Amino acid sequence: MPTVNPYLAFNGNCEEAFNFYKSVFGTEFQNLQRFGDMPSEFPMPDSAKDKILHVALPMDKGSVLMGSDSQSSFGGPEVTCGSNMTVSLATNSEEETKKLFDGLSAGGKVTMPLEKTFWNAYFGMFTDKYGIQWMVNYDLPKQ
């Protein structure tokens, strides 16, 4: 089976967002490249050179959260945050679920508080302070 790796796009604050995610997940960047690292045959304005071309943050079980800044600073489309994508985290314990939910939702908007559900899970949803939607789920042991 393939591994699904969410790839997030930002309007210039990718580095800020991924430093926040790094602080919550407690892992280090696997890769971080800036537009200024590209070969000189790909010219761009100085304002874009420090923006993130690609960042990869490893997560548990082999998945990687990835992202980049949009290329709007040199003619590409602006990123529009919407409701068409949600990052869903499957956790290993109630404690991990609460830690990730509390950490990632800080400064954002909780849309479903973390609680035990009728489908036998500890689950919550929120939009983080960068406009990314998240679901955190722990399947409770069967009684």
The span from the CA of 74 to the CA of 4, in Å, is 29
Q: What structural domains and CATH numbers belong to the chain?
A: 7-73 (3.10.180.10), 86-139 (3.10.180.10)
Write the pLDDT tens digit of every residue in 94-136: 999 999 999 999 999 999 999 999 999 999 999 999 999 999 9
In degrees and rounded to multiples of 5, residue 42 shows phi and psi of -115, 75
Inform me whether the pLDDT recorded for 73 exceeds 70. Answer: no
- Total-model pTM: 0.85
